């Protein structure tokens, strides 16, 4: 492995924003472990064309610490180290709080918040000075939207976890940051009605949805930003500016 080559773990890397993060990391010459519950059999097109051994598709549920430990051990046994962890796996279930099924609440919080903690704890023994953790937040974690209590709470919690860990890990030289995507068309948002999409688009100062690759580009800058930790970085077409930046 060359000195510039890093080993990335991207949770939820099989599709959507995670897949774009994986593609970008591979294009930059890194090795990438792509973790999801139902991993693809194929590698990305870019990896297939040249060097198949730079991508490892791993099956694990971020809610299951034992599965995560097996996955991390596999990365270490294949590549001997871990440099960048992206907590991107996510689940959205909406519903008015009064009628929200508690199972939905638990699933969202378990995946988006406790899942990130479990991934970090599984990876932590292998992270060294210079390692970087990038958590993927959401604008709803900072701004109230009715009917989104579970998702908003999980993402607000992830923001708190980011700040707490950034301080805990600072002395070891491990950075922890939160990238906050705006609205991107993926499987997660494909169920939104056209009317809901239009009204959300109207709220975005740049007047359009984001592309997954635009989020991935920022994740890569943040992962490489050696003097940034505990930061919240919106990539949202200006949506956060309409109600003030998080503190």
Q: Phi then psi for 233, rounded to 5 degrees? A: -120, 100
Nearest CA among 159, 177, 156, 168 for reference residue 231: 177
Binding mask 127-166 for ligand NAP (x = CB under 6 A): ---------x-x----------------------------
Considering the complex, state which of residue 69 and residue 186 has its C-beta at the smaller distance from ligand NAP: 186
Find the binder of ligand NAP among 6, 7, 18, 83 (CB under 6 A).
18
Q: Restricting to residues 216-245, which ones interact with ligand NAP according to CB under 6 A?
A: none
Q: How many residues does the chain have?
A: 247
Residue whose CB is less far from ligand NAP, 91 or 174: 91
Subset of residues 169 to 208 that bind ligand NAP, contact rule: CB under 6 A: 181, 183-184, 186-189
Please check whether residue 182 is in contact with residue 167, taking contact to mean a CB–CB distance below 8 angstroms: no
| Phi and psi angles of residue 178, each rounded to the nearest 5 degrees, phi first | -120, 115
Pick from 9, 91, 108, 127: which binds ligand NAP (CB under 6 A)? 91
Tokens 């923001």 correspond to 159
Asked if 15 is part of the footprint of ligand NAP (rule: CB under 6 A), the reply reads yes
Catalytic residue among 8, 105, 142, 151: 151
Q: Quote the CA–CA distance of 42 and 112 in Å, as a whole number.
A: 26
């Amino acid at each position: 492995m060359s000195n510039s080559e890093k080993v990335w773990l991207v949770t939820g890397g099989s599709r959507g924003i995670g897949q774009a993060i994986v593609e970008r990391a591979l294009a930059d010459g890194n090795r990438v472990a792509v973790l999801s519950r139902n991993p693809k059999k194929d590698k990305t097109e870019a990896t297939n064309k040249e060097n198949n051994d730079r991508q490892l598709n791993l099956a694990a549920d971020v809610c299951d610490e034992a599965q995560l430990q097996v996955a991390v051990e596999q990365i270490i046994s294949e590549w001997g180290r871990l440099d960048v962890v992206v907590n991107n796996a996510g689940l959205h279930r909406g519903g008015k709080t009064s009628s929200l099924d508690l199972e939905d609440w638990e699933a969202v919080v378990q995946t988006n918040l406790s899942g990130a903690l479990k991934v970090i704890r599984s990876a932590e023994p292998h992270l060294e000075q210079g390692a970087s953790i990038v958590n993927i937040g959401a604008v709803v974690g900072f701004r109230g939207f009715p009917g989104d209590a579970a998702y908003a709470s999980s993402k607000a919690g992830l923001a708190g976890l980011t700040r707490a860990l950034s301080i805990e890990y600072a002395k070891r030289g491990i950075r922890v940051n939160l990238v906050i995507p705006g609205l991107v068309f993926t499987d997660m948002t494909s169920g939104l009605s056209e009317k809901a999409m239009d009204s959300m688009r109207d709220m975005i100062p740049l007047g359009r949805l984001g592309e997954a690759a635009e989020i991935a580009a920022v994740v890569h800058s943040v992962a490489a930003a050696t003097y940034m930790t505990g930061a919240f970085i919106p990539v949202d077409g200006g949506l956060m500016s309409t109600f003030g930046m998080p503190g």
